[in-house]
Structure 1
Amino acid sequence: MSLIKHCLFITLTFYCIISYGQQEGVIDNEMLSLRLLERINQAKSDSDRGKYHNALENLDEALSIALKIEDQSNLGKIYTKISKIQFLVGEKDKADVSIKKAMQIQRDIDDYGNLAIAYNIKGVMHSTQNEYEDALEYFNSAKGLFEQENLEEYTSDVLLNEAKIYIQQNRLEEAKFNLEKTIILAKKYNQLNRLSAALIYSAKVYLALGNTKIALSQVEEGLEIAQDNNIIQDKNEAYLTLSDIHEKNEDYKNSHLYIKKHIHLSDSILNVTRENLDIEASGESINNYKEAQNAQLKAQIDEVSAESAFIRITTILSIALITILSLLTLSLYKNNNIRLNTNTMLHKKNDELILAKEKAELASKTKANFLSTVTHELRTPLYAVTGLTNMLLDEDPKPHQLSHLKSLKFSGDYLLTFINDILQINKIEANKVEVDPEHFNLRNKLENVISALSNSANNQDTKIHFEYENGIPETFIGDQLKISQILINLLGNAIKFTKDGDIWVRTYKIDKKDNIYYLRFEIEDNGIGITKEKQNHMFESFSQGSVQINRKYGGTGLGLSIVKGLIQILKGKIYLKSELGKGTTFFFEIPLEYDKNVDKTEVVEVIKANKMESLDLSNVKILIVEDNKINQMITKKILNKMNLNCDVVDNGEDAVEIVKTTNYDIVLMDIHMPGISGLEATKMIRAFDKKITIFALTAVTLEDKMHEFGDAGFDDIISKPFKQDDFEDKLHAALTGEKIVSSFFS
């Protein structure tokens, strides 16, 4: 009976201890978190001093704590740090395992900033093994994530790593571009170690390009920073580069001097590294630690042996109880291991999917950047073509020149339409198109579209018939611009393929739920029709009925693809019915909201007037900042024709200086210029003038980058080539003090 009482006493005591432990759990976790940060900081200190084995010991302890308190965020960071050090000490396989663990954790918890850091390190691993293409893929992914997370300061390291690869591949212009960006970012964020390295590697590039003067200037600047901040590796690289530069200049004395410095410092670095990688010394310290632990354990056993019989029985029962719990824990641990192994297998199976997803995202981003670059390069000369053509047409050309100028204008307009179509397709595919609902009169909208295209129909000897079902309201809430674009495309197609015929435009209700009307629009023609084989592909990009049709009727083959995308954005559907030689009917259905509180008479079309004529422009001063001479002339002539006075400078530095001394009302700032860019020039102007209106007059089209214009301090963007009405509206708003509502920055 006495033994049972003792057992009950021990059990109650054990559960009291557990209860007390639960109350103390929060405090314990806080203490462990502090210990975790302490170990990580100590590991960084050890790593910075080259004590890599000490750093690994501290990181291993930090890893155990992170696992214990289930701190996933720090767990991913620790694996990244462990991987980096393992790679430095030559344990490449272990480093690869660690970095993969880090990336998996960071993907699971959406820690994209630290995932980008891991990608950068993984890229360096591939780079050192001459696996350059794999390395560049990881660097690209890292840059994309840093950009996504607004972590611009971290991209300098990635750009520097990319530049080193480009130098190895003799892609010197790309390396030069990356290093220039690295230098700008390193200065901006006071990253002295990256600044010194970027300057030294930039010197290597200029040396390879044959410009020893700039190479010498940059390496000396990089060396000075490295010496002031004791950046040993950069000092060593600078000595080697200086030796190469002096050798190129046939200054063999200085070349020999710097190569001796390089060899001496390399030997010192090697000796320090050997000392820090002394594995036997590390093994000895571990053995000493184990012996101390064994001595402590033996002392505890001796102390237990000296206790009384009751304590011994209590201890035995406690051990028995703990053993049972330990067995249960072991069972749970094994089950957990099985689950983890299963998850690991699933993760392995998903690795390919994840990699494929990342590659697809990278491909999409690359495509967007490619389109932005190509369209920018096309828009810039197109601005000159359309601008000069319009100017010549306005200057009373000779009769025999008129037809040529009109042909040139048509070609320019066609090319601009083609570029805009490509961009719109890209925006639709990237889900960058947003719905902009407003009150509008649907019947008036349809009649206006028909009226706008009636001349084209008359030229084809074709009649357009309009039917609007009785009982359908006329005023709705919807995105009238997208609806107009859909109708113009479909009706324009019908006119293009119908000669001496008829076209019917019909609108009627197919359903109604509450205040939502489901409307069907039909555009029917009795033109040439479409074959059954071609109908299945009509909504694909660059699709036409046939090569012969494309040559005869023209067009980009993008219109119907855009139409389908816009209709899907409006939550609608589109159908096609056609028979070769008998005509074609396009049906599309979209939901539109009816607001019974808005009378149809309240929604009226706004007729635009020439607002600029009402202003006194005699004292208005405008500055054009543009490096292209032809574009300077065109923009100046357009402004002079509007009776506006303007000055012209061809670079950002001059723009900043002239704005300091002259009072301008508006600055039209180009973006891509030699020296500092339009973005940087605008930031500088905003440092001393917050009120002046600055428009970005640019051919840049990638909307993902538009936030950069807002951040730099631009009031709005005027895209080249611009529409005269839009240009005048924005100038009028700026000159009258109206609020400029930018569609780019919203």
Structure 2
Amino acid sequence: MIKSLPHKWIGIKMLFLLCIMLCTTISFGQTDTNSTATIQSIFDDFMVYRHENKIDKALETLDQAAKIAEDNEDAKLLLDTYHQYSRLFLDEGDKETAIFYWDRASILLKDISYSYGQAFHLYLDAALLFDEGNNFQSLKSLEESRMLSNNRNLSNNILLLEASIFTNIEKYDNAIKNLHALIVNSDDKERAYLATRANLQLAEISVKLNDLDEGIVHSKAALELAQKHGFAKEIRKANEELSFIYETLGRYNEALTYNKALEKIKDSVFTIEKAKLEAKTADKIRFEHQMNEINKLTAKNEELSESKNRSEITAILTSAFLTIISLLAVSLFRNNQIKLKTNDLLYTKNKELELARDAAVSAMEAKTNFLSTVTHELRTPLYAVTGLTHLLLEENPAEHQKEHLKSLKFSGEYLLNFINDILQINKIDADKLEPLSIEFKLQKILTDVVESLQQNANENKTKLILDYDPSIPQQLLGDPIKLSQVFMNLVGNALKFTKNGKVEVIAKLLQKEEDQVKLYFEVRDNGIGISEDQQKNIFDSFEQGSIQINREYGGTGLGLTIVKSLLGLFGSTIHLESELDHGSSFFFEMDFKCDAKALDDVAFELDPEEFNFKGLHILIVEDNKINQVITKKMLTKKEITCDIANNGNEAIDHAKTNRYDAILMDIHMPGISGEEATRQIRKFDQETPIIALTAISLDDSLDSFYQAGCNDVVTKPFKPEVFYQKIGENIFKNKMEGLV
């Protein structure tokens, strides 16, 4: 009896699932250089077609990529192609076919080492779990994916999916944070598309939170982007959202406008014909792939038939083997009984150890939180001490008072360094440090470190020299803040133990391949040196070699511990060579990404002496009255006028009614925080520089300050020269660049 067509398809699908379990895995080689460019072009075309919802064209481009991968036996390319098939069908709601390609990719992943492929596989797994409603399992898969690859495009797509999950579980603050980051993303592949999707999700959240005006803003932003770039699905979604919001508000004329646009899209003949063509193309490609697997299975069956005679010999050998196994079974049974008793004992002991571990973890968390709170709270009164000392020194004190004031300033700075070290170690212990990946200029970082420590070198009559390799690329990708901390600790340490000598900071290029460079760094001095016994423990916390050294030179003994931990974040290791009375050398290697196409242009920078502060008008946002007075006096010294806002709400009102050259925004305030106030101000003012002033704590993240809209961050208590430098850079550099 002849089956109907639907039953034939069911049979083919069942046969293909059997094929997945029985077929051996194919291993592939690599494509040649010429085909790489072709493949990249194909994937670029695919991305455009996917965004424009031209599913038939997108499938055809993927089919080309799959054929090239099979011809060249390129397993990684084939894996990437299967992943894109899976994502495309999942977007179209065809979950069965999406899983079909995801399973094929799983088979390939077993035999190749490909971290990006594994990361994207986990991202798709998270998308499938999210589609099934398994929100928390999906979040877990996304976290595993993020750890395997730092690919920018994948990271942005993870943020987008994560925002959808947070919305599902009503963690709206987390979702909004992700989506605001995506609106200003710098993705080189899907910048406009991600921003469009982010605006649509923000519109949906705004509707759920009954903030309909905000929903209109984000929906219109999404519609504008979608129409500009031809994102068909997003155009329809934005029209739907706007129609619904205006109808809810009772603004029926505007609702009707967007509803007509929506009906025009739905009723177009092109849309209907397009859907038929896409379905036909999808079925054709899916059928070809499944038939290929069936052919492979047929060949495998023929191979098995040829080996029938050999199976009889195998049966005889199997019988003999089973006889031997039977004799061993009795012995294994007795051993198993002994193991069961041992396992019971081990289980009991493990439970005891787990309880002890949990108690230790709780104690560590309590200690960490306590230290974080103490160090954070100490910064506020310390700001008053250092700020007032600076102001008194500026007011021409008597000679006998200067000495006392300088001692007070030194003590305040020493205490601040100690607090900073404690907070840094606390963050390391709590696993709160995460490396950034942003563009920076290495030569400027090292030059700034050397210049900032030049005064220390002069006091010790020591030469401080920077030996920088000019062949190092100008633009690198990494974490300039943590790298600066590493060198501040290493160079500061070298200067402390070197008098009437020389300290060298060395940076050399070891290797360069396309967009990857390996650099060598060294900080060398001819100071007192370190004995072999002391070298074994020199990187431990609070370790300075000996009590005598601590008494003579001071310090916390945390600097090298911080250096070791920070380098560990980047997969680098600090090394030491030293000899007593002959100096020390600390050196390490580090890998960076670089932009090979970037021009080695000279950055636009201003000399601090060029800053003319007179006549500037600045808003101070600060809830602490003493801090208000100190900050205002420091600005008045430079002939800067200012207004004061006691909290975030006042800051928003001031910013709406006045024009300021800059806003100094305290982050930790009662009511709305400085971050939230910055977000609100950025809705109507994108130009005025906002500088965050914060007594930074364990849970603070510089990333969140910048994402909120801050231009720069200054940690309290700050050095006056740093304070003025940041104000000058953000006001005058913006003005000058605007003129250019």
TM-score under structure 2 length normalisation: 0.45
For the pair shown, the structure with the greater C-alpha radius of gyration is 1
Higher relative contact order (CA 8 A, sep 6+): 2
